[in-house]
Structure 1
Amino acid sequence: MTDSRIWNHMLSKVSPLFVAFAALLLGVTCMVVFAETASAHGYIEAPASRALQCSQDLNTNCGQVKYEPQSVEAPGSFPSGGPADGHIAGGGVFPELDAQSATRWNKVTINGGTNTFKWHLTAPHATKEWKYYITKKGWDPNQPLARANLELFCSFNDGGATPSNKVTHQCSVPTDRSGYHVILGVWEIANTPNAFYQVIDVNLVNGGSGEDLPTVPANVVSPSQTKTSVTLNWSASSSAIGIKEYEVYRNGQLVGKTTGTSYTDSGLTANTSYTYTVLAVDTAGNKSSSSSALTVKTSNDSSVYPAWEASKVYVTGNRVTHNGVVYEARWWTQGEEPGNADVWVAVN
């Protein structure tokens, strides 16, 4: 009997049930292998990560990660390995997550000290370790996130164990910095070369002494006035998480908001004094204290005189407006502020 006839004869004796069982066993084996290499996924649900907030519509224009916040997977062994600088947040998979500025992402307010970090694993996996990093003091939130910006503050070694679907860690967040910071959580897988990356945008509160509030707007002045309007200018405030806007108050009542450092208040009455204050609001909604009050008077003259300029030369008879008052120069002058120098006399 030839070899082919022998082989065909043997196959004819194999039970169809055995063939079906073998096929099923092969399929299960493939499923297990695939699960071990591809199905580990998870995200940080508290404090809510940047990716999770995309799925919750608290962050917008996020791209595909909106539908799969659990899938920010990239090479592991961070920081010696892992995604390239500038692509850490998105893992090289979701580039929209890599956008970085002081105002781009919604922030979660947390206090320094002990915090609970909760992962939700949609597919648990044998785990090497968990690591948590935070941006350093003085980092620039308007630059791409890089390894040099980050420092490790908490880690847990699982030694290859497979966790449950919910993983909770207690970590002490640094108390020596405040304002906008990014926390990076890394889930290192034990039996694949990959890891999962989750960044959290936080408004970190420490100290409780007001150091987390925006600075007070300074140098509030009124460079020009008309019979029905007053224009205000001031110096920009600062905040570690960025300034969102300024609120302008007239006689203690909010009259407007602006993202810039100037504002024109209109619809006023001629020859009338108004008192203004300005405060700054950061991207987390924190408000500064009010600026020093400035009292300004609208004009009562049919002529509109130019605003006083410190660098300009004035001679006898020149008229200017300054903080709502019209002044006339009594002699040659430069750099002497109306209202604070005898060379100027108020004429209205």
Structure 2
Amino acid sequence: MSVWDVLVGQEEATQVLRSAASHGGESHAWLITGPPGSGRSVAARCFAAALQCTGPEPGCGECEGCRTTMSGTNLDVTIVATDKVIIDTEQVKDIRTQAYASPIMGGYRVIIIEDADRINDQTGNRLLKAIEEPPEKTIWVLCAPTPQDMLVTIRSRCRVLNLVTPDAGAVAQLLQATEGVPYDKALVAAQISQSHIGLARAMVKDPHTRDSRVELMRLALNPSNTGEAVIAAGKLMAAAKDVAEKTSADLDQEEVSSLLSAYGLTEDEVLPRDVATQLRNLQADQKRRSRRALTDALDRVCLDLLSFFRDVMVRSVGADVPVVNADMEEELSGWLGRNAGIAADAVDLARRRLGSNAAQLLVMEALLVSIMRTPKG
């Protein structure tokens, strides 16, 4: 099985990366972009594996270079991922050190930054020279939703490769092969998740994930007056917080325990001043990460709402196109005759406000009031 087999619905990108791997990478820096769930980090890993490959074809999937890269144990491939709001200076120092180290196992040192859009001006300036003039055998692979999400100074040094939203059928086939679920069930999950591979996988593993999605959307769609919309926004925020906290709670506690155990301390003891300072800094980072997780959860709700309003518009014009939210037939019928385009614009505005660090509860209250007031037409 080739490493490229896991890069679903990206035939053109696969061809580009396979060719580049056959010719020494072709560029010292790549920027892989694409919508959520399209497989940006998967593409980066596949490319790194192909560069480390010692088999007959780059990315054979059988040699040690491919196997260790795909499992995350190859010493020449550094994968940088962060749950924080930004990639901080400490991470940048480590990344630069790795970039200037000579390859140990394979022919190339590959640096993958999965959340490159979280590089800010300060950390970007520290990385710029290393990306612009790397050692001969170092290749950078950055991942971001769009080229515009990247600092211009870094983007201009990279070769850009755009991924597309994979076909739902291709995602369903992947889930059928990897999760052992019937194709029909996998296809429904792929359609509802809008071909987001991670979300589709979560849905087939845990039916509650799908039920929770519908529940949150109904919460946003059902208010009939301003008071109900404000109350619903509060409930939606609480549900999103619950999702965010479940994601980060165990990691937060593990980080605190790891810090204290490094000094032979417990949480019940009086901490030395320097340790207490480190703990406060860690907790500040965790708070920022928690806010980012909450923003991501709210943005997911917004994307689901956009899919709903898209379905309404499809139904309104009688287009022969499958709807995403076939499990919300009653709500779709109830929205026929209303201007779903205006509602979609309100959702898009809410997403921009969430991305600009606006007060999250106020953003969701404004959104739900706007949806409630959507006129006919």
Compute the TM-score of the two structures, normalised by the length of structure 1.
Answer: 0.20
Instruction: Report which of the two has the higher share of strand.
Output: 1
Instruction: Report which of the two has the higher share of helix.
Output: 2
Q: Which has the higher contact order (CA 8 A, sep 6+)?
A: 2
